[in-house]
Structure 1
Amino acid sequence: MHIVGLPDISRNKLSPTLIVALMFTLLFISCASMAEEKKPESATENKPKVVNKTTAIKKPIELTKQHKEDLKHYLATEQVQPLLAGPDDYLTLVKRYTSANSKGVVILLPEWQQGATNPKAINYLRNELPAKGWSTIAIQPSNKPEGYPSSAITVEQQKEENQLTLKEYKSKLNSMLNAVMNTARKYPGIVLVIAQGNNAALLIDIYSQDSSLQPNALIMLSSYRQSNHAFINSLNEQFAHQVASSELPILDLYLKYDNPLVLNKAAQRKAFSKQEMKVYYRQRQLNNTVTGYYPEEELFSQINSWLKAIGW
C-alpha cells in the first residue's frame, strides 16, 4: 500500500534529508513526553515554602555582660577581680599604689550604661591615681534599670513604677557598696569614692539612710537625678537637700559642656549647701572641649587641691 505524500520505503532508499527530518521529529516527540512526565514533580517543587513564624529571634547580649567580657578579654588577669554581693556578682579592676607611701584607696563608680574603663574620666583616674599613692578599685556597675523611667500613661502609674524599679536597683547598689567597702577597708589609709551621674545621686540617697556605708569623702562627677518630666524638679531638689544636709565632705564637679540637666541643677545644690553652711562642700565647673569628657590635668588638679584643703 502506498500513501500519497510519503516516499515508498519498500522500493526506494531514504534520502539523507528525510532521515535527518525523521530524527528531529522523534527527538521532539521524546522531549515532549519527558516534559509531561516531569511536570507534576516540578509543580510540587515550585510551591512556596511555609515559613515557621514561631522561630524566636535571639536577643542581643546585655550591655553589662558585654562590658564584663571585654574587661576579661583585654585586661590583665591580676587586675580583674570578681566581687560577690548577695546573689549578684560584679567585676572590679584593682590597681595598687606604686608610690613610696600609701594615701588610701579610691573607689571608682561609673554612671550606669558606662564601663569601668570609661574614657570620660574614670579610666584616667584609675591609671593616674596609683602613682600618687592611691590604690584604685573601679567597679563595673549594673545596667540601667529596665523600664526606667516609666512609660506608663498616667503620672500616678509612672511614680509607682519608678519607685518599685529604683527600690530594687538601690537594694543591689547597697549590697555592692557594702561588699566593696569591706574590700577597701583592707587597704591602709582613707577611703574615697568618685561616682558619676545618676549613680552619684543614688549614693547620696543611700548614705543618707545608712551612714555605716559612708566613705571618708565623696567626689561627684556630672551628677543629677534622671526621671520622667513630671518628677525631674522634685527629685533633683531632694538630691540637693540631701547633699546640703550630709556631713560627708563632697566635691561637686561638672563641665561647661555637660548634660543640660546637670547644668540646670548644679546651682541649686550649691545654693542649698550655702544655706546649710556645709563646710566641706566645694563645687567647680571645668572647661572642656568635648561634651561629657573631663580635661584630665584640670580634673586631677581639682581633686588634689580639694583633698589638701580638707587635710588629706
Structure 2
Amino acid sequence: MRLKSFKEKQLHTTSPHNVSRNKISSIPLVLFICMLTFICSPLTFAEEQKTDASAENTQKTANKVTPIKKPIELTQQYKEDLKHYLTDEQVKPLLAGPDDYLTLVKRYTSANGKGVVILLPEWQQGATNPKAINYLRNALPAKGWSTIAIQPSNKPENYPSTEITVAEQKKENQLVLKEYKSKLNSMLNAVMNTAREYPGIVLVIAQGNNAALLVDIYSQDDSQQPNALIMLSSYRQSNHALINGVNENFARQVASTELPILDLYLKHDNPLVLNKAAQRRAFSKQEMKVYYRQRQLNNTVTGYYPEEELLSQINSWLKAIGW
C-alpha cells in the first residue's frame, strides 16, 4: 500500500500538466532578464566609449608640447616697476632715435639751484639702484641739484664673446660694444638736451662698465660733454685674455681727457675694481691731470656705498674745483 501510494504521488508530481505549467511560469522571468540585458548593454557600451575617448584625450594632452614663453627682458621689468610704483610726475619718457627710455626727474628743493646731476646706473641695474644711485637721486635735490636718473639698457647680448680664439673674441667684442656705445651716446645726448633746460652746470654720475664706456664716448667729437664726471666703482668687463688690455686703455683715456673726474670706489668692492684702481691713479699722475681725484670709501656691505660719506666726498670735490 505504501509503495503504491508513493508511486501515485511521484506520478502526480511529474505529470505533463505540471511540467507545462512550470515552463509557462518561467517565461516571464526569461523575458525580464532579456529586457534588462538589452537596456544595460547600450549604457555599458557608452561608458566604455566615453572611457576610451577620455584616455585618448589624456594621451594627446600628454604628448602635446606646451611652448615655453621667453622671460620678459630685465629692462622691461624695471620700466614696468617704475611706472607702477612711482608717480607720473617723476617718470618721464625719453626718445633717443628709435629707442625709448625712462627717466626719473626730481627738481631741486633748496632756495638756489646749482644745476643738474644725471645718474646712470650700471647695466643690468635699475634707476632706483639702492647701492648708491637711489640715495643720490633723493638726497641731491635738497643740496640744490635737480636729478635725472636713467633706466639703462641691458648688457649687450653675447658679451663677453664666447669665440674660441682671442682674435675672434676681440673682434666680436668690438662689434657688440660699438653698437651699444652708439645707443648710449644717443641716449646721453638726449638727456643732455633735457638737462640744458635747467640753470647751472651739468654733472654725470655713472657706475661700473657704463662709467668706463662714458669715458670712451666723451673722448669722441660727436658727444655732448658734461661739466664733470663722477665714476662709482668703474671698470671694464671682458674676456680673461683681454681684461688687462681693455682696462689699461680705460686708464689711459681717464688720464688723457680734460674732463674733471672724481674716481670713487669701495674697500669691499668688485675684485676687478680693486685691482685696476691704482692703475688709473698712476696714469693720471704721469699725465699730470689736474682735475682728477681718487678716493676709497669704507663700507660694510660689498658694493653698497656709505651714504653720508658718498655725499660728503662729492660736495668737497665740487668745492675744490670751484663749484
Length-normalised TM-score, structure 2: 0.86
Q: 1:138 to 1:9 in 2, by over 3 A?
A: farther
Query: What does residue 133 of structure 1 align with?
Result: 144
User: Runs of 4 or more off by more than 4 Å in structure 1?
Assistant: 11-14, 22-34
Residue in structure 2 matching 1:182, options 176, 193, 211: 193
Are the counterparts in 1 of residues 217 and 223 from structure 2 also a CA contact under 8 Å? no
CA displacement, residues 101-132 of structure 1 (integer Å, 9 cap, x when unaligned): 11111111001111111111001101111111
Aligned-pair CA distance for 1:36:
5.4
Structure with greater proportional helix content: 2
Aligned-pair CA distance for 1:213:
1.5
Residue in structure 1 matching 2:271, options 256, 260, 268: 260
What SS does structure 2 have at the residue aligned with 1:49?
A: helix
What SS does structure 1 have at the residue aligned with 2:60?
A: coil
Alignment of 1:296-307 (within 5 A): 296-307=307-318
What SS does structure 2 have at the residue aligned with 1:299?
A: helix
Q: 1:29 to 1:194 in 2, by over 3 A?
A: same
CA displacement, residues 134-175 of structure 1 (integer Å, 9 cap, x when unaligned): 111111111111111112222222222211111110000010
Query: What does residue 52 of structure 1 align with?
Result: 64
Are the counterparts in 1 of residues 120 and 149 from structure 2 also a CA contact under 8 Å? yes
Query: What does residue 9 of structure 2 align with?
Result: none
CA displacement, residues 223-263 of structure 1 (integer Å, 9 cap, x when unaligned): 00011111110000000000011111110000111111111
The size of the alignment, in residue pairs, is 304
- Separation in 2, partners of 1:9, 1:67: 95
Aligned-pair CA distance for 1:30:
7.0
- Separation in 2, partners of 1:168, 1:134: 32
Could you tell me the percent identity over the aligned residues? 77
**Does 2:92 align with 1:110?**
no
Aligned-pair CA distance for 1:69:
1.3
- Separation in 1, partners of 2:142, 2:43: 86
Query: What does residue 291 of structure 2 align with?
Result: 280
Amino acid at match of 2:207: Q
Aligned-pair CA distance for 1:46:
2.0
**Does 2:277 align with 1:236?**
no
Alignment of 1:145-184 (within 5 A): 145-184=156-195
Aligned-pair CA distance for 1:285:
0.6
Alignment of 1:66-85 (within 5 A): 66-85=77-96
**Does 2:131 align with 1:120?**
yes
Amino acid at match of 1:147: N
Aligned-pair CA distance for 1:211:
6.9
- Separation in 2, partners of 1:193, 1:38: 75
Of 260-269 and 23-32, more deviation after overlay is shown by 23-32
Query: What does residue 271 of structure 1 align with?
Result: 282
Residue in structure 2 matching 1:42, options 23, 46, 51: 51
Are the counterparts in 1 of residues 185 and 223 from structure 2 also a CA contact under 8 Å? no
- Separation in 2, partners of 1:36, 1:107: 77
**Does 2:104 align with 1:93?**
yes
The CA RMSD measured in Å over matched residues stands at 2.7
Amino acid at match of 1:184: A
Of 22-31 and 224-233, more deviation after overlay is shown by 22-31
Of 197-206 and 271-280, more deviation after overlay is shown by 271-280
Q: Any unmatched runs of 5+ in structure 2?
A: 1-12
- Separation in 2, partners of 1:67, 1:160: 31
- Separation in 1, partners of 2:151, 2:245: 29
Aligned-pair CA distance for 1:37:
6.3
CA displacement, residues 25-81 of structure 1 (integer Å, 9 cap, x when unaligned): 99789757854564455334323215333x532111111111111111111211111
Q: 1:101 to 1:44 in 2, by over 3 A?
A: closer
